[in-house]
Amino acid sequence: MNRKDLKDYKYTQDWIKDQEEYIQNQMETVNRLNSILSDMPKGSRVVYDNEAEKLTSLMDKFNELMDIVIEEKEKQKAIIENINKIDFPYRNILFKVYIQGKTLVTVASEMHYSYRDLCRKHGIALNKFDEM
């Protein structure tokens, strides 16, 4: 776990959401194809086997993508766990900036700090995160 993972948290979260939607849409298509394929007359075994092979290959690709998504979710869970080990107010700063995606100006206002003071505390919070 490093700063780059922390900074990429929001982007990774968006990517995971997009991939899950993509997988869900494609799985619906695969299920439709599967039902069509199973309803086809079994006259030509070669055509049926060819289509079934393509369907199996597609399912394997989706499973690989799902494994990547699960791995990224585990990484995000570890980031949250590391943030939760940090003392307050540094925990709040990291959570608001990197998990919620707020700007430093907004966080400074919410936490009643001056922008300059929050920047200093943000630097300390990042150093504490690096130590985890």
Using CA atoms, how far apart are residues 68 and 60, in angstroms rounded to an integer?
A: 13
Instruction: Give start and end residues of each alpha helix (H) in 1-132.
Output: 3-7, 9-39, 45-84, 90-94, 104-111, 115-131
pTM, full prediction: 0.66
Task: Please state, as a whole number, how many other Cβ atoms lie within 10 Å of the Cβ of residue 96.
Answer: 19
Using CA atoms, how far apart are residues 39 and 46, in angstroms rounded to an integer?
A: 16
25 vs 54, more confident:
25
Query: What is the tens place of the pLDDT at every residue in 61-89?
Result: 888 888 888 998 898 898 899 899 989 99
Query: What is the tens place of the pLDDT at every residue in 13-46?
Result: 888 888 888 888 877 777 776 666 555 555 555 5
CB of 83 within 8 A of CB of 95?
yes
